[in-house]
Structure 1
Amino acid sequence: MVINRPARRFARRSKRAAVALSIAIAAASPVAAHAGGAEQPQAVQPQAATANASAAGAAGPAKPTAQPPTPAGGLESITQTAGAAAGYLYQGSTGLLWSAGDMLSSAYTGIGQALYETAYMMGVNKTPLPRPEFVDTATDHAQAPVMESAAPVVPTTAPAPVQETAQPTAASPAQETAAVPDSAAETAAAPPPEPAEEQVRAPLQPIPAGLLANLVYDRSARNADGSYFVPKGLQRMFEVRTERAAVSEVRAVRKLNGRVVPDPKAHGRVEAGLLGRFEAPETGIPVVGDEVRKGQILGMVVPVVGVVDRSSVRREIARLTNEIRITAESLEITKQFSFVPFREGKVIQLETRLQGLRQEREALLPLLKTQEYLRAPVDGVIASSTAVTGRVTQPGEMVFDIVNPKQLWVEVTVPDPTIAAEASPGSRASARTPEGQSMAVTYMGSGPSVRQQSIPMLFRIDNPPKGLRVGRPVAVLMPGEQAATRGMPVRRAAVAVGSDGIQQVWEQTEPETFVPRVVQTQDIDAQTVLVLNGVTEGARIVVRGTGLMTQLQ
């Protein structure tokens, strides 16, 4: 253990003090004893004198003589008590000092050891610790049979020869122990037994992913004629599905580009009506995406008036208040006198003036103490917000924009006025987003005005899909009045765009052979297209997994 230097110094000082006290007490004891012995003869002499006096008195009267004062008889007992007390004091003080020194030494030793170990664990103390050498006894026991027997090493798989060689060695243990030091060189030259099992068991290596894929599935390949070999296993992994193309006559549609807009009946904007500072309600400021109800308080606008304007307003309010009081007193006085000329007319005039003054004061009071509540006009979701606590809003500035995601429309602008004239309100159509979402729409009507040389047309989305956003582009496929077109209708997912940007479909000519065909298409609705050329009737067209088939190119 490591003891700190302050602990050592304190222990030494405690021992020195104990020794000095013991020496002082030991030196004081003989002095007290010597003082008691010197006073004892003086006490005997008075006793002898008293005896002689008594004898003389018996013989005859004697003259009175002056006797010396007798010393106190308790001096001897006081001396003994002082010596015993000094001995007890010596023993008690010595024991206390030694006990206190041992306790403080142990405390300092423990604290020093704890600090040393803590510094070592924290990495502050870099002093290396002594490490005793570890001796593995199991290794010695394992090598003992090899050192004792000079016979050749027998494999572990043959137990019978090992028992025969072990019998003579067990018969003479004394000879074996004596022969071990002499045959040290021979045992060192003997090779250790070779573990046969460890050499047979080789570590398993992971199988490469490419090799495993080649074992499970056959690879696709491009043939010399431009077709592609796709094995059945790869087709199942791609979930490839095909359909036969059939020729039919389909009425062509018109593709109109537009964007998603909110329904005017379910769309509302919350604007500030005066210049003021925006304050949050007790429920907190609603953020984008929160649902709100009609009439819900979204915020408050506290009017902001400058120092000069505020002073002017207060002065005007004070003036109006004074005039109201004077006019009211004049009205009461006029009503009390019955012989005032034109009394009824003056009363009516004063009442009218009093009412006007009160209205003027009520118009100025909101500038000082009232606030405007911003309420939601419709049910919906917060689409946009510019509300920040403490922000100064301007009159007419939009603070919240509320949209109902379950009521959305599509606004389309067409440059040809005949398209809007031929469309009848209530007709059904289909729409498609760039992400592939399909939806059914109903034509609502168009306006007579022209916007940027185009006519706006409105379509209501019957069941808006989840995640549809306001402002997203949408393509509306509206049936027209043109003659029917002959072709092969296929799913829109069957048409893919090749690396050269040309539309193509995949035709399955054999069970494991596919050929890409360049086609020309025309839109029918949001989910179907009409293939005009490039594929013969009855061909098997891939309608599922087309995107993965395109990756083979």
Structure 2
Amino acid sequence: MINPRSLKSRLSALGLMTAITLPVPLWAGPGHDHGTEAATASVAAPTSPRFEAISDRFEVVGRLDGENLRLWVDDWATNAPIEAASVNLTIGPRKALAKADVDGTYVLPFPEHDTPGTYPVTISLRGAGEPALLGASLVIDDSAGHAHAEEGLPLGLMFGGAALLLGVAGGALFLVRRKRAGLALVAFGLLAGSWTLVTGTPSEVVAGPGHGDEGHTDVAGDVPDNRAMRLADGDIVAPKPMQRLIGLRTILAGNSAEGSALQLNGVVIADPNGSGVVQASSVGRVSGQLPALGQRVVKGQVLALVSPALDADVSLITARGAAETALAEAELAAGPSGFAAEAAELAQARSRLDRLTRLEGVVPNREIAEARTAVDAAAARLNLAKAQAAARLRTARTEASRLRQAGSNAEVLRAPVSGVISAVSVAQGQVINPGQTVFTITNPDQLLVEARAPSGKSVPLAATGSARTSDGRNLLLIRQGEGLTMVDGAAPLRFKIDGPSSMRVGEPVMVFITGSEQTAGVALPRDAVVKGANGQTMVFLKQAAEQFQPTPVTITDLDANRVIATSGIKAGTRVATTGAPLLEQVR
């Protein structure tokens, strides 16, 4: 017979062991699972069911988008979207016409979106050149339903299971108190079975939304369909929506042999025949309506006035002249009183002559003659003083008139050429000196590029060249001439910019002069070449509709817009051009 105390201790130990060994469900919160990252690295395509259909002219990518099938139709060689085509699909026994969407894709309903299976697809393209027929298969497996089943237990089932567990545990404790050992063991077994039934497989981790199993490679729903990624081998997965967003384009590479180019540093300068400076020829003060910076002017247009500015000496002379004029006018207006000394001398000489004349016969005639001579001399001195005063008055009036006339005659500054005001060096009321530059005018349609060829560098005698700006603009250059005088150890070369350029004087450019030496390789647009994280020159080769492979290349300059790859790629491959630098940013 079993001892009750022994039975109770054994049942307690059994309960403790059951509690320890029962599987404990763990629900991972957002951001606490690390299996997704490992799985993502091995994914080579977006996770939604999709297909590719390729011909020598077209490239079609289809992907499930909810209850619809969405198609991207592109040109195979250039990756350019084809948006004006008639796209008819045959999916199994059903035929349908895809409708063009506003984003340039084609959409049609797909009722079988949640039904697993393999669906053969035939695509008929019309309206984009010759009609084309493409085939593919769309595979829908049960991974989506499996992923939903693993997202976690419903809330109602969790509460129901908890109530069941509490009921079984209560019954087991009641049997222990009643000393029913066999029934208590059965109750604990039911407890363990109920726990396993509610929580699933022992040691199971129930992941919340957005969390996958460690090492699980089926990550359907975990990786967004429109997100680019870099795979473990370095390839770039670029979904079609991302390609449309960045305007990604490709070219079909072909072998060629062309002349390599000499690259020189250059700068934009003004054409001497299409630019000019406006300078004053005398000291003066600037006035008039000054032109604004950037304003277009025509040859001969009035730009400013320069009025003569009188310095301190000239002002003093003018004041002195005015005083002399006033004094002379006063002297003339005063009559004899204005010349008191001369008049007194004349009066004294006349008085002496009168006195001697009355004593004629008493005094010698010689004294009378001397008195008459003295009177004539005094009269002459008075007349001379009057004449000098009159002359001073005329001179003062003439100088005053000249100064007034000079002050009213302003120099007119006119535009020597037609163009744009590129520099304004004065302000209203500023006093300028002769030869000082007031305005600079540049004709934007007549600009030159000056490059410097280092000493010892053989410069090809090509009639044309090209240039590239820092922001990627290309210029066509026409060779104008080469200087015979070295400047800082380099020979100056000048080129005329052919056509409008929207360039600015002083803007730096890279000049390319094509030589006669031929280089064999694959000619590529310069935009196709990117710098990798390690500084290596590379291009992206298109391996599939949404997959690109970075490939190191060796390049040589051809002109401002093209390079030639002498190694790394072969003819017939598709190379990403526009948008390639953005592919390099994918991590």
TM-score under structure 2 normalisation?
0.47
More strand by share: 2
TM-score, with structure 1 as normaliser: 0.49
Greater gyration radius: 1
